[in-house]
């Protein structure tokens, strides 16, 4: 596949059919470890047992605290979702992206809506990601825009609804355990996200088409998430997610029954920097398509967020400003800042 000057925002999947990689998708990597199938180490962060968090097992809470303040992410097992449900969500995502283009285009994003199907690079600057998406807001329920919810496969909406209910429960319990892990009153992070009927969950279905020039493109460029946390369901067969820790990239292993949980920017802010929103990216496989489903719990934009007062001390002064609508900051600085959270950092 030779690079061409063609520059269109048709779905990346269609570019694969064309057999050419438009120049906008070719990345300038400064360092070889950034690309494709280089033998990076696997992340050796902990696997957290949800059922032990439920019973407030002190050892598990300590493991959770350590994971959140070092890696900023972990694999969650025993979360109560069956492998059948996880596989059904993976399968329906694959089936959706496999539909003919004109069928998928019935759900295309309209205007500047975040929701819907398409090539997300329209809202980005700089080089493009090798990624197509379907983005649906699942909570609050009255804000669902059902015109974007696929009718094929037929069970898409009911399965997404079931998965959303379970994601919400898991997220609420996790945020409470995260508070307990810092010896805070258990609702403190739940007040950031979860206690308000207008708190949001976005579902982002990611599709990363295979690319013979995999080493020249990137699925998702290095970024942090702008939500409170992220609940990620990875592809069961195709690896691709990498996280940055101490200036080194690590591959996130596939554990089929696990959910990958990330601290996202708004929890880093609320924890006054104790929990880390990890920089992560997605690399592309030359032979196989990859999918992932990111569920993004996001505080109601009218809610004021900021570092919890219990976490501001003489030794740890307030690191971030208080604000509403972090999402606005996140998108405003998407193109110009490496980590948008720096835009709300207080510099002493």
Minimum distance from CB of 193 to Fe ion (Å)?
Answer: 17
Give the residue with the Cβ less far from ligand AKG, 60 or 130: 130
Interacting span for ligand AKG (CB under 6 A) from 71-79, 157-165, 234-242, 267-275: 234-242
**Contact residue for ligand AKG among 21, 43, 53, 241 (CB under 6 A):** 241
Q: Which of ligand AKG, Fe ion, none is residue 164 near (CB under 5 to 8 Å by kind)?
A: none
Q: Is 120 in the site for Fe ion (CB under 5 A)?
A: no
Q: Residue 347 has what DSSP assignment?
A: P
Residue 206 interacts with which of ligand AKG, Fe ion, none, CB < 5 to 8 Å by class? ligand AKG
Using CA atoms of 38, 42, 43, 44 in order, give the dihedral in degrees to the nearest 10.
-150
Spell out the residues 6+ positions from residue 11 whose beta carbon is closer than 8 angstroms to its own: 101, 104, 118, 119, 132
| Nearest to 227, CA basis, from 270, 195, 273, 197 | 270
- Dist CA 248 CA 245 (whole Å): 5
Residue nearer to ligand AKG on the CB measure, 53 or 260: 260
From candidates 220, 270, 274, 319, binder to ligand AKG by CB under 6 A: 220
CA distance 240 to 308: 35
- Residues 256-295 as x/- pattern, contact with ligand AKG by CB under 6 A: ------------------------x-x---------x-x-
> Quick one: 52 or 220, whose CB is closer to ligand AKG?
220
Residue 304: which of 244, 344, 261, 253 has the closest Cα? 344
Do residues 339 and 224 touch, judged by C-beta distance below 8 A? yes
Residue 181: CB minimum distance to Fe ion, A? 23
Which range in 57-65, 153-161, 233-241, 340-348 contacts ligand AKG by CB under 6 A? 233-241
DSSP state of 272: T
Q: Which of 88, 225, 265, 268 binds Fe ion (CB under 5 A)?
A: 225
Q: Which stretch binds Fe ion (CB under 5 A): 98-106, 148-156, 222-230, 250-258?
A: 222-230
Cα radius of gyration (the chain):
20
The b-or-e profile of 159-171 (16+ CB within 10 A means b, else e) is: bbeebbebbbebb
- Our finding on whether 134 is near ligand AKG (CB under 6 A) is no
- The two three-digit tokens of residue 218, written as one number: 């990137």
For Fe ion, which stretch binds (CB under 5 A), given 156-164, 220-228, 301-309, 310-318?
220-228
Listing from the earlier edge strand, what are the strands of the sheet with 248-251? 220-223, 280-282, 241-245, 248-251
Listed residue (177, 180, 134) closest to 294, CA to CA: 134
By CB under 6 A, residue 89 contacts ligand AKG = no
**Site for ligand AKG (CB under 6 A): which residue of 135, 204, 215, 276?**
204
Of 61 and 220, which CB lies nearer to ligand AKG in the complex structure?
220
Positions that interact with Fe ion (CB under 5 A): 225
Positions that interact with ligand AKG (CB under 6 A): 204, 206, 220, 225, 232, 234, 240-241, 280, 282, 292, 294
């Amino acid at each position: 596949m030779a690079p061409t000057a063609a520059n269109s925002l048709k779905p990346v999947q269609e570019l694969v059919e064309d057999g050419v990689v438009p120049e906008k998708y070719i990345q300038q990597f400064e360092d070889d470890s950034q690309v494709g199938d280089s033998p990076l180490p696997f992340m050796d962060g902990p696997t957290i047992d949800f059922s032990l968090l439920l019973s407030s097992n002190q050892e598990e809470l300590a493991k959770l605290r350590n994971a959140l303040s070092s890696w900023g992410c972990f694999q969650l097992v025993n979360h109560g979702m069956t492998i059948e449900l996880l596989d059904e969500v993976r399968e329906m995502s694959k089936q959706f992206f496999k539909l003919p283009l004109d069928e998928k285009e019935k759900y295309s994003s309209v205007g500047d809506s975040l929701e819907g199907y398409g090539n997300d690079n329209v809202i980005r600057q700089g080089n493009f990601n090798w990624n197509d998406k379907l983005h649906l807001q699942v909570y609050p329920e009255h804000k669902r825009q059902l015109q974007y919810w696929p009718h094929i496969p037929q069970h898409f909406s009911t399965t997404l609804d079931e998965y959303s209910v379970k994601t919400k429960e898991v997220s609420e319990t996790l945020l409470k355990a995260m508070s307990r892990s810092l010896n805070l009153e258990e609702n403190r992070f739940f007040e950031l996200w979860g206690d308000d009927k207008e708190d949001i969950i976005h579902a982002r279905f990611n599709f990363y088409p295979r690319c013979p020039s995999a080493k020249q493109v990137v699925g998702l460029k290095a970024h942090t998430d702008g939500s409170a946390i992220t609940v990620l369901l990875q592809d069961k067969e195709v690896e691709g997610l990498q996280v940055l820790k101490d200036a080194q990239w690590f591959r996130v292993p596939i554990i089929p029954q696990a959910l990958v949980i990330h601290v996202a920017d708004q929890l880093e802010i609320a924890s006054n920097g104790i929990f880390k929103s990890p920089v992560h990216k997605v690399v592309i496989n030359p032979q196989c398509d990859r999918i992932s489903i990111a569920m993004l719990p996001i505080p109601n934009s009218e809610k004021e967020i900021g570092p919890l007062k219990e976490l501001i001390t003489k030794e740890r002064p307030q690191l971030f400003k208080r604000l509403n609508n972090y999402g606005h900051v996140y998108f405003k600085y998407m193109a110009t800042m490496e980590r948008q959270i720096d835009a709300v950092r207080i510099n002493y």
